[in-house]
Amino acid sequence: MDVVIIDTSCANLSSLKFGVERLGYKVAVTDNAEQIKNADKVFLPGVGAAGAAMRIIKEKGIPEIVQGLQQPVLGICLGMQLMTEHSAEGNVDCLGLIPGTVKPIKAEGLRLPHMGWNTLTEIKDSPLFEGINQQDYFYFVHSLCVAPSEYTLATCDYGQTFSASIHHKNFYGVQFHPERSGKSGARVIQNFLEMKQ
């Protein structure tokens, strides 16, 4: 199986690469259009600000590549947020792969960013979350979020309820970092890699 992590130049790629390799898969980190298009599974990672990230990936021609993909794609953290239509962070249009917008978390006096371990409050039946339950902890680092909608696969609570995972067609996103979430995160990565196209 050909597994690709898109080199967005705005993510900690080594920890995700190691997380995939630890499960026994070979993985390439690349921004090469043909390699991405020919992959069986594609990861879209990202950290930092949406405006800067969109600027960088536009310079690399990544939006057009990702928008044309038919195979399963998993966006992680900022990568998930970039899959939506718009981010209030920098007032920037995103990739438009999954309906929704990104807005600041209403933390109600809680510290931001939402950083650390948290559980999922609701999980829909999905191959991505097979074997995962509401007692499982995942690692989050973010100050913005996507509100729950019909495209939400899982939610989390921190000041408000937000989408911990979203999905539309072949595009999946997780707000948490599965590569930093121990056995539960490894299971999500494994589920994604074993997902049928």
Residues with a known catalytic role: 77, 177, 179
Geometric angle at alpha carbon 115, from 95 and 134, rounded to 5° = 85
| Structural contact between residues 6 and 43, judged by C-beta atoms closer than 8 angstroms | yes
* CA 80 to the chain's CA centroid: 4
**Alpha carbon distance 69, 39 (integer Å):** 10
- The tokens of 47 are what? 């950290």
**Alpha carbon distance 151, 141 (integer Å):** 21
Which residue type does 81 have?
Answer: Q
